[in-house]
């Protein structure tokens, strides 16, 4: 499938509007920061690695036409833009990583004229995109080694093409295993409330001729009880130094089920998803989103009593002891995570 | 709340059309068997105990105007009606129990004229209804003893007023505990695909002034991880002789999560839900329903790619070793179930 989830095009950020899928594949050209902020908040663009790219491109989008009187003014504006983008969603580490990458470029080039810094920021954003494309392929190469012929894999949310630039983390591994000639079967958990599994993962796997079956989130346990799942692979939004991994709500549920049924549970994420300053999952900020996502079935029709209280965390944290291995672009990391994550990420820098 | 889920009225079966909730509380008068069959199949009336009543009333509805030439013809027609009702849904034991109760009345009164048998069948159906109302209250009395002040209870699907005649099994226990002055908090799992938790349980608990919060099914794990759930109480559709319990899909998931987080997991069901001829959960027939329930959000709008494969079992089986206790109208049954179920159900007959 030759599509790009996010790229720089026509002097704007071009994204697939993922809220329109699977009904139509529609592109959106984002020309100002407010539109970008809304696109992120409303999940028109989503997925941790894609958010890293959105953040990097966003910095350039915000600063490119800024008429700086002096370097101090330029730096101040850059900080303002970064803070604004950072306020869109709190959990995915890659978003902040993307912003930091961009700010670092400015910091390191304070001796250059503003126009040159702008050009370097553009280059850095393009580098973030190229690196994601490479990271996904490296991750897929490592991860595919874990997949056996005829494996049945369960995944949640969307950690595919639509969560990255063009290949995917968890789904990238599945694509790669298929390219290697392995026959696979995938179950996609629909992922309430916003149904990224039903809308996005089922769509992209089907488009790529992967044998996919859609289930509701509460059906995974039954599949495991019946011995139908060989492996679970999920993405991640932020991984702490000890290996605790925040990912889409429902991931922790699958990790507990995997542990109970002795099914290997893998997290697939690039190095940019790790947040080594955070010691454990307890310190990962978890976004809580609005009640209507739960009560109104993707904003279309009410399904519950008016005014009903709702608990709607967008993510949960899977403690490291439930994770069989973390598949990264720097290789496969296994327990003990507290030493191996730092070692592995450093080794390959 | 003074409503009846199902009753005999105006020479017909009067039910709440549960597919219309929570938008409107609408009653439906069922005047022929085909309409009853469809109402059961389409979940206009649902919940194992309510299906027991529907089956009993259905036999009378089907036979009441039948002009029998002789007793043999009458008996044959009764069998035909019973087989037809039985073909509507396969899992809930109470449906078959209701049919058997009615057929037994006919069998035991073969010496009487057909008109008298018809009258006795009507009486038996009314008895089934009265017994359910009593059973729910007995169950609630036993179950409420397990509930502490300030408990937070998680439930799934709807095991309330709308699943019985007028009080509920799992929710009956909650109503009773509240009547006893206990302060409770309830989380209702929305229960995909047909959202009985969101549509029915949240509605009836709110109507009855119970502090209820709605969650998506994949959020229960997070609540337990955070120590927010004191007990899980679910209903059941069929319980085998060894205590394995079939209930709405997602129940087994909650049982595994409860075990992992050391949260007591209770099943609440009347004696009529037990099927002692079935040795274990493996032999309980599990209804698989159509894909559109998953792909079209309660038949309103498509959420997944066209033609996507779906796995849609309506129930799962929780093995007895994950069940802390079974709350019945004959008292609370605890492990070892293989001996205690038979003992307890017999003792109080």
pLDDT of residue A291: 87
Q: Which residue matches tokens 């059973």?
A: B135
| Interchain contact B195–A (C-beta under 8 A) | yes
Give CA–CA dist B22/B19, Å, rounded.
8
- For residue A211, which residues of chain B lie inside 8 Å, CB to CB? 309
Tell me which of A312-316, A345-349, B176-180, B186-190 is least confident.
A345-349
CA distance A5 to chain B (A): 18
Test A213 with B313 for CB contact under 8 angstroms.
Answer: no
Residues 6+ apart with CB under 8 A from A73: none
CATH architecture of A6-136: Up-down Bundle (1.20)
pLDDT of residue A349: 56
CA distance B62 to chain A (A): 34
Restricting to B residues 83-122, those with a Cβ less than 8 Å away from any Cβ of A are: none
Print the SS3 string covering chain A: CCCCCEEEECCEEEEECCCCCCCCCCEEEECCHHHHHHHHHCCCCCCHHHHHHHHHHHHHHHHCCCCCCCHHHHHHHHHHHHHHHHCCCCCCHHHHHHHHHHHHHHHHCCCCCHHHHHHHHHHHHHHHHHHHHHHHHHHHHHHHCCCCCCCEEEEECCCCHHHCCCCCCHHHHHHHHHHCCCCCEEEEECCCCCCHHHHHHHHHHHHCCCEEEEECHHHHHHHHHCCCCCEEEECCCEEECCCCEEEECCHHHHHHHHHHHCCCEEEECCHHHEECCCCCHHHCCCCECCCHHHHCCCCCCCCCCCCCEECCECEEEECHHHCCEEEECCEEECCCHHHHHHHHHHHCC
Measured torsion, CA atoms of residues B264, B268, B272, B277, in degrees rounded to the nearest 10:
-20
Task: Please count the other Cβ atoms lying within 10 Å of the Cβ belonging to residue B349.
Answer: 6
Test A212 with B311 for CB contact under 8 angstroms.
Answer: no
ipTM of this complex prediction, to 2 decimal places? 0.95
Test A214 with B260 for CB contact under 8 angstroms.
Answer: no
Name which of B156, B257, B313 is nearest A219 (Cβ-Cβ).
Answer: B313
Restricting to B residues 227-286, those with a Cβ less than 8 Å away from any Cβ of A are: 249-250, 252-253, 256-257, 259-260
Average pLDDT, chain A: 95
Restricting to A residues 157-186, those with a Cβ less than 8 Å away from any Cβ of B are: none
Average pLDDT over residues A176-193: 96
Shortest CA distance from B204: residue in chain A: A305
- For residue B219, which residues of chain A lie inside 8 Å, CB to CB? 249-250, 311-313, 316
Query: Are the CB atoms for A210 and A233 separated by under 8 Å?
Result: no
pLDDT tens by residue, A209-225: 999 999 999 999 999 99
Domain edges within chain A:
6-136, 139-347
Task: Give Dmax over CA atoms of chain A in angstroms.
Answer: 67
Task: Please count the other Cβ atoms lying within 10 Å of the Cβ belonging to residue B347.
Answer: 9
Task: Give Dmax over CA atoms of chain B in angstroms.
Answer: 67
Closest CA to A334 of A233, A243, A231, A237: A243
Test A316 with B190 for CB contact under 8 angstroms.
Answer: no
Sign for the CA dihedral angle at A174, A178, A180, A183 comes to positive
Please list the residues that pair with B333 across neighbouring strands: B326
Test A304 with B193 for CB contact under 8 angstroms.
Answer: no
B132, B166, B237, B316: the active-site residue: B237
Test B214 with A308 for CB contact under 8 angstroms.
Answer: yes
Query: Are the CB atoms for A241 and A340 separated by under 8 Å?
Result: no
Residues 6+ apart with CB under 8 A from B63: B74, B77, B78, B81, B118, B121
Fold of A139-347: Rossmann fold (3.40.50)
Test B23 with A302 for CB contact under 8 angstroms.
Answer: yes
- What percent of chain A clears pLDDT 90, i.e. is strictly above it? 89
| Confidence band for A348, pLDDT divided at 50, 70 and 90 | low
Pick from A21, A305, A312 the residue to mutate for testing the B interface (most B CBs within 10 Å). Answer: A305
| Interchain contact B218–A (C-beta under 8 A) | yes
Look up the pTM and report it. Answer: 0.96
- pLDDT averaged over consecutive 10-residue blocks of chain B (349 residues)? 93 96 94 98 97 98 95 97 97 97 98 97 98 98 98 98 98 98 96 93 95 95 96 97 97 98 98 97 92 76 72 85 97 98 84
Report, as residue numbers or ranges, the catalytic residues of A: 237
Please list the residues that pair with A16 across neighbouring strands: A27
pLDDT tens by residue, A245-273: 999 999 999 999 999 999 999 999 999 99
| Interchain contact B212–A (C-beta under 8 A) | yes
Between the alpha carbon of residue B90 and those of residues B15, B96, B244, B268, B313, the distances in Å are 21, 9, 17, 20, 12
Name which of B206, B214, B306 is nearest A294 (Cβ-Cβ).
Answer: B214
- For residue A225, which residues of chain B lie inside 8 Å, CB to CB? 252, 316-317
Give CA–CA dist B349/B343, Å, rounded.
10
């Amino acid at each position: 499938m030759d599509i790009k989830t996010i790229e720089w095009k026509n002097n704007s950020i071009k994204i697939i509007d993922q809220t329109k899928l699977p009904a139509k594949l529609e592109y959106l050209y984002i020309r100002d920061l407010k539109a970008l902020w809304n696109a992120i908040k409303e999940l028109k663009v989503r997925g941790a690695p894609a958010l890293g790219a959105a953040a990097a491109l966003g910095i350039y989008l915000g600063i490119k036409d800024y008429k700086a009187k002096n370097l101090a003014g330029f730096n101040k504006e850059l900080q303002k833009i970064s803070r604004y983008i950072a306020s869109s969603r709190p959990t995915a580490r890659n978003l902040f990583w993307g912003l930091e990458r961009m700010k670092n470029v400015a910091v390191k080039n304070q001796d250059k004229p503003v126009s040159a810094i702008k050009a370097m920021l553009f280059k850095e954003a393009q580098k973030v995109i190229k690196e994601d494309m490479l990271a996904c392929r490296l991750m897929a190469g490592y991860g595919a080694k874990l997949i056996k012929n005829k494996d049945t894999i369960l995944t949640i949310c969307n950690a595919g093409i639509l969560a990255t630039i063009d290949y995917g983390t968890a789904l990238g591994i599945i694509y790669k295993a298929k390219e290697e000639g392995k026959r696979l079967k995938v179950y996609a958990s629909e992922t309430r409330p916003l149904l990224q599994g039903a809308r996005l993962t089922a769509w992209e796997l089907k488009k790529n001729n992967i044998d996919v079956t859609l289930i509701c989130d509460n059906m995974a346990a039954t599949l495991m009880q019946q011995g139908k799942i060989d492996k679970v692979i999920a993405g991640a939004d932020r991984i702490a130094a000890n290996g605790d991994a925040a990912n889409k709500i429902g991931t922790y549920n699958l990790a507990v089920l995997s542990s109970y049924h002795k099914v290997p549970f893998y997290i697939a994420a690039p190095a940019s998803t790790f947040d080594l300053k955070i010691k454990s999952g307890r310190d990962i900020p978890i976004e809580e989103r609005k009640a209507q996502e739960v009560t109104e079935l993707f904003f279309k029709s009410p399904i519950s009593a008016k005014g009903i209280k709702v608990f709607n965390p967008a993510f949960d944290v899977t403690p490291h002891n439930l994770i069989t291995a973390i598949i990264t672009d720097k290789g496969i990391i296994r327990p003990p995570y507290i030493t191996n994550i730092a070692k592995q990420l450093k080794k390959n820098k």
